[in-house]
Every structure is written in C-alpha cells, then in structure tokens.
Amino acid sequence: MAPYHIRKYQESDRKWVVRLLSQGMAEHIPATFWQLLKLPRTLILLLGGPLALLLVSGSWLLALMFSLSLLPALWFLAKKPWKDYVDTVLRTDMSDITKSYLSEPDSCFWVAESEEKVVGMVGALPVDDPTLKEKRLQLFHLSVDSEHRCQGIAKALIRTVLQFARDQDCSAVVLDTSNIQLTALSLYQSMGFQKTGQSFSCMWARLVAHTIIHFIYRLPSSQAGGL
C-alpha cells in the first residue's frame, strides 16, 4: 500500500480530478442498468412487449428483435443521469475549481496524492440557504481511484472536510449521494452521517429509479475539540 497525503487542489491537478470524476460516475452505469432491468415496469415491457408482438404478427423473429432492441435503449437510460451529472458539474462548480472552491475562506477543495498522482478528491462549499438558522457546509465530489480504495483515503478525505467544518464553526455537514452508490452509503453511515430524506434529480432519474439520498452530520459545539 503506497503512502498518500492530502493537500489543497492546484491547477496542475485538473486533468486528474476530471478523470476521477468521469471514471467514478461511469462505474455506476452497470449497477443502474441492472437495477433498471429488475423494475416491474421494465420486466413488463421486456416480456409483455414481445409477447404482444408475437400474438399480433405471429413472428418469433420479430418478437426477438424487439426484445434485443430494447437493451440498448435501457443502457442509454441507465447512462444518461451519470453523463448529465458530469456534464453539469464540469460546466458549473468544476469548470473553475480554484474560483469555485479556493477563492473564499469558507470553502475548499482537497486532493489525495500518492506517488505523484492524484488518487482522491473532495470539495466543500457553504450551504447557501437564507432560511437556515445555522451555518452548514456541503461535501461535494468525494471520489477515490479504483486502484487505491480500501486504504482509508475516502475516510481521510471526509475527516478533512469535517475538521474544516469545525474550524469554520459550522453546525453540520450535509451531502447527497444515490441509492446506486451502495459503498458510499455504507461509508457515510459508518462515519456518523444520518439520512434526512430522498428525492429525484430529474425525470430520467425517476425512470431508472435513481434516487438521491440526503445526509447530515451534526457537529455539536461540545465535540469541537477533535474528531
């Protein structure tokens, strides 16, 4: 296991960070596809559609071709939420990471470096909600390279965000993940994050049952002494 250290983002890290983002999101497409296949409405379409076509046309070949043509369409549906997410963040907060995360003292972006390579990343921004009566920080874009997982890097990045939140006198850290990201769900819960709700980000996400899970980590002032 190669040693690693966590430091603030530098502009020279951008190609590594974009790669981590793109590859990390692409990893979830197969799981989304299999989940989509198991949905009752998908099973009805996959089984009922060809059967209906067979009864109408009497052609087994036509029914088989219909079934096979559905699979690429389902793969497209499984891929779209993740591709849209990457496209969106590369146009918004990650279009200029230095400006978005490092231009103000209450936000930051860190990378984990090992053997002169960026193998992990995470960002944090203050929650902009005037209705809140407390100061909160939101964790963004936690990702670790697949070849460097199970080494404690993700936990170290999360602890870095939590300590930063304490230093900023925040009352809580919030984040969003998805029902597809089972490893992330388990990680956050093991570190004390609590689920506060869930939602769908868009119509496409609803179609593939891609649910956004909302978490919060409370930072009581009595615990401000350490992690």
Mean pLDDT over all residues of the chain?
89
Q: pLDDT tens digit string along 191-220?
A: 999 999 988 766 766 777 778 999 999 997
10-24, 70-84, 116-130, 133-147: the lowest-pLDDT one: 70-84
User: Which residues pair with residue 53 across a beta bridge?
Assistant: none
Distance between CA atoms of residues 218 and 227, nearest Å: 12
Backbone angles phi and psi of 109, in degrees to 5: -140, 125
Cα angle for residues 173, 175, 176 (degrees, 5° grid): 165
Distance between CA atoms of residues 207 and 203, nearest Å: 6
Distance between CA atoms of residues 13 and 98, nearest Å: 11
pTM, rounded to two decimals: 0.86
Work out the average pLDDT over 97-110: 97
108, 123 Cβ separation under 8 angstroms = yes
